[in-house]
Amino acid sequence: MLRKIAAAVSLLCLSFAFAAGDEIKGNILTVSDGKVTIRLKPKEKGMKGEEKTFDLAKEVKVTKKENKELIVDKEGLKSELITGINAKKGAAGSIITNDDNKVTEIVINAKKKKAT
């Protein structure tokens, strides 16, 4: 019985060790100098969300989310998706971090086209 409990605890600890980082949604404000700044969704309507800055990992994947499809941009951090971000408004999207809390992926949501 004790062996089964020890095995279950070991398996649980092992699963936490390989857990992926977090996905953080908000408005991406800047990507420069090895860092990315994102404004989180505000807790109350009419307020500004909290801004957080994260370090970039050695390799960062940049993707564009169009509808539910993710399209990888081969230009990476030199992509127009990143360089064209307005620092005041930002770009809606999310960042994905690893276990070290470094950004491994930046996802930019495609702008919705206005109906005519």
Tell me the sheet residues that pair with 95.
24, 106
Q: Give dist(CA 94, CA 38) in Å, integer.
A: 8
- pLDDT tens string, the chain, 116 residues long: the values are 555 554 444 444 444 444 457 999 999 999 999 999 999 988 888 888 999 999 999 999 999 999 889 999 999 999 999 999 998 899 999 999 999 999 999 999 987 665 55
Q: What is the pLDDT of residue 65?
A: 93
| CA–CA distance, 116 with 9 (Å, rounded to integer) | 58
Q: In the prediction, which pLDDT does 5 show?
A: 54
Kindly state the tokens that stand for 42.
Answer: 């505000």
